[in-house]
Amino acid sequence: MSIRERLSGNEAVAYAIKQINPDVMPAFPITPSTEIPQYVASYIANGDIDTEFIHVESEHSSMSAAIGASAAGARTLTATSSCGLALMWEELYVAASDRLPIVLALVNRALSGPININADHSDSMGARDSGWIQIYAESNQEAYDNFLQSFKIAENKDVMLPVMICQDGFITSHGVENIELVEDELVKAFVGERNPEHFLLNEKEPMAIGPYAVSNYYMESKRGQRQAMLNARKVILSVAEEFEKISGRKYGFFEEYRMEDAEYAVVVIGSAAGTAKAAIEHIRSTTGKKVGLVKIRVFRPFPDEEIAAALSKVKAVAILDRSEMFSGTGGPLGAEVTAALYRAKVNAEVVNYIYGLGGRDITTDDFEKVYEELYRIAETHEVRDNYRYIGLRE
C-alpha cells in the first residue's frame, strides 16, 4: 500500500535516493538543487543509508568523481543545476562515451548570463547532445517516480548510459505537493543491486576506461552510443511497465492529454503542462473547441515516430520551448518535433514559441491565446512568424 506524503520536488528525489541507497554520491551545492545532497547528507549522518558522500571543490570534480566511482563498479549519482551542469560539460561527454550508468538529478535553472536562479531548460537542453538519456517531470510525483526508474534504465546491459532526471527549479523543486511514495521493500526489489559486468576493480579483468581513441575507432564508439540510445527506447518502456505494477502509475515517452479528438495541440516539457491542462479544460467547457496537449517526458532518446503519430490528426500544433537556441526557426523541442512531423509527412500547421525564460510565468490566459492563434492558422494556413515569444515585454 502506497504511503501518502507532502514533499517538495527536491525532498521527493532525496527520498528516492534514500530508498535506493546508492554506493557513492559526489556533489557540490548550487541553487536550486542544493537541498538534494543536503538531505542525502542528513540521511547518511543519521545512519539511514550507507552511501559514501564525497565533498568536492566544484561540479567538474563532482562528475569526475562520479565517473571514477561508476567505473569502479559503484552505483553512483550526483545532483546539480545550471552553471554547475555547464562546469561538468567536458565530463558529461566522458561519462556517456565511457558507457557509465551514472544518474544525475538536474534541477533546471537558467544559464548565465545575465545571472538568474530561476527555471528554464537552457542547462539540460544545452547538454542534449552529450549522450545522456534525459527524462523530464511535470510534478513532484513524476520527479520521484522518474528517479526510481532511472538506475534500472541506466544499468540495463543493452543501455549502459548515464541518465538525467530533470525537474523545474523552484516550481517543483521547492513547491510542496501531495505525493504517493512506494514502500521501501518494493523499491529495493524493483531497483535491485548493481552487478557490473566490467569494472576497474575486477582483478580478473585488467582494463582501462576512457582511453584515447584514434580516428580508426572514434566513429565506431559514437555509433555504439547511438545503438545504446536506440536500445534505451525499449528499456524505458519496459521499466515503466514494471514500475506501474508496484505503483499503479503509468508512464511512457510522453503523455497525451485530451488528444483523443483534438484538432489543435500544444507540445511542451515540464511543469507548464499543468497550466496547459487547466487551460484545455476551460476552453473545452466554454467553447467546445477540441484542444489537447502532448507533454514530453523523454527527450533523449527522442520518440520522433510516436510523437508524429500522436499529432497526425491535428490541424495545427504549437511547440513551446523553455530555452533559446538562437536558430532560424525556434527552440530545440521545436526543431525535433518539426523534423519528426516532416519525416512522417504530417500535414499539420506548425508554430514554435519561446516561453518562461529565467522563470517568467506562463498562465492559462497565455495558453488560451496560443490556442486562439492555432485556430487562425488552421483556417488561413498562414504562419506570420514561426519564432515567437510568450509574455515578452516589447
- The per-residue pLDDT for range 181-202, each reduced to its tens digit, is 999 999 999 999 999 999 999 9
**CATH (residue range 3-247):** 3.40.50.970
Cα 50 to its chain centre, rounded Å, is 27
Statement: residue 215 has pLDDT above 70: yes
Provide the Cα torsion 183, 189, 191, 196; round to 10°. Answer: 150
User: Among residues 133, 115, 126, which one has the least CA distance to residue 86?
Assistant: 126
Cα–Cα distance for residue pair 295/272, rounded to 1 Å = 9
The angle formed by the CA atoms of residues 389, 391 and 393, to the nearest 5 degrees, is: 95
Buried b (16+ CB within 10 A) or exposed e, 311-338: beebbbbbbbbbbbbeeeebbbbbbbbb
Contact 91, 64 (CB under 8 A): yes
pLDDT attached to residue 18: 98
DSSP one-letter string for 222-241: HHHHHHHHHHHHHHHHHHHH
Reported as type and span, the H/E element at residue 365 is helix 364-380
Does the predicted model carry a pTM greater than 0.95?
yes
Burial zone of 261 (CB within 10 Å; 0-12 exposed, 13-18 middle, 19+ buried)? exposed
- Model confidence at 329, in pLDDT bands (50, 70, 90)? confident
Amino acid 384: pLDDT: 87
Residue 350's pLDDT is 97
Distance between CA atoms of residues 340 and 371, nearest Å: 21
pLDDT of residue 13: 98
| Residue whose grid cell is 539511514 | 48
How far apart CA 75 and CA 95 sit, in angstroms, is: 14
Beta-sheet strands, E only, within the chain? 3-8, 24-27, 52-55, 77-80, 103-108, 133-136, 163-168, 176-181, 254-257, 264-269, 291-296, 298-300, 316-321, 349-354, 387-389
Query: What pLDDT does residue 387 have?
Result: 87
Residue ranges of the chain that CATH labels 3.40.50.920: 254-389
Instruction: Please give the pLDDT value at position 131.
Output: 98
Q: How far is Cα 66 from Cα 394, in angstroms, rounded to an integer?
A: 44
What pLDDT, in 10s, does the model give residues 30-43? 999 999 999 999 99
Nearest to 93 by CA among 121, 136, 58, 60: 60
**pLDDT tens, 40-97?**
999 999 999 999 999 999 999 999 999 999 999 999 999 999 999 999 999 999 999 9
| 82: nearest Cα among 34, 124, 129 | 124
Convert the pLDDT of each residue in 245-261 to its tens digit: 999 999 999 999 999 99
Residue pLDDT, tens place only, 90-119? 999 999 999 999 999 999 999 998 999 999
Distance CA 57, CA 46 (A): 24
Q: At what angle do helices 184-191 and 140-154 cross, to 10 degrees?
A: 30
Parallel, antiparallel or unpaired: strands 387-389 and 163-168: unpaired
Question: Does residue 363 carry a pLDDT above 70?
Answer: yes
Q: Give mean pLDDT, residues 169-179.
A: 98
Q: Where does 254-389 sit in CATH, by number?
A: 3.40.50.920
Indicate where the chain has its CATH 3.40.50.970 domain(s). 3-247
pLDDT of residue 1: 64
Q: Provide the mean pLDDT of the chain.
A: 97
- Whether the per-residue pLDDT at 122 is higher than 70: the answer is yes
